[in-house]
Amino acid sequence: MRILSRPEVFNAIQQAKSLTEEQASKILDRFTQEQPAIHQMIFVGLPLAIETQNRQMSHVFMDICFDIICVYEQILGELPKNAVTPQWLHGKMASIEEEMKAQTQVDANGQIDLKNNAQIELLEYIGLVVEDAAGKSKNRQEVAGVTYNLAFLVTRLFDAIYDELMPATVH
């Protein structure tokens, strides 16, 4: 797994945040068409787990997932069309979850502790976005840990996809 540097992540997020609504829609539409299995999981399946607790935080999660897509694509390149099947995706998510359970600790906020080999710079950004979105709302604060942890899973998933399907991006 290639660890993304702070300048790479910062620049990619800045580019993503500077997109017009039309440009962002084009990226999302292309991703939806070219990566239907990944799209279904990160923009439909996972947000439902959050939405049952707080609708606003599910929208924050989807915004974060868009940022994750932009970061990986800008730094490591676009994935080949239909990069993964739904079966591969579900199997990989299960293996990532098991790996994480064995290697990680959860902090006092219910968020995954970043002691393992992870995308620290991207996860720090995600943590700030989730914390800001949670604000002082007790309900949103209660869902913040789940939101962050699912975003953490998405970053690990993208690491696995790029490692296994685009090994030339690993340095």
Tens digit of each residue's pLDDT (9 = 90 or more) over 13-53? 999 999 999 999 999 999 999 999 999 999 999 999 999 99
What is the mean pLDDT of the segment spanning 110-133? 81
4 close to 171: Cβ distance less than 8 angstroms: no
User: Where is pLDDT greater, at 11 or 114?
Assistant: 11
Domain of residue 33, residue span: 6-166
User: Where is pLDDT greater, at 40 or 105?
Assistant: 40
Cβ-based neighbour number of residue 116 at 10 Å:
14
What is the mean pLDDT of the segment spanning 91-102? 85
- Rounded (10°) CA dihedral 90, 134, 159, 19: 110
pLDDT of 99 reads 81
Structural domain contains residue 158:
yes
Structural domain contains residue 118:
yes
Q: Which pair of tokens denotes residue 171?
A: 């340095």
pLDDT of 70 reads 97
Structural domain contains residue 1:
no
Three-state SS for 135?
Answer: coil
What is the mean pLDDT of the segment spanning 146-152? 94
Structural domain contains residue 134:
yes
Say how many domains are in the chain: 1
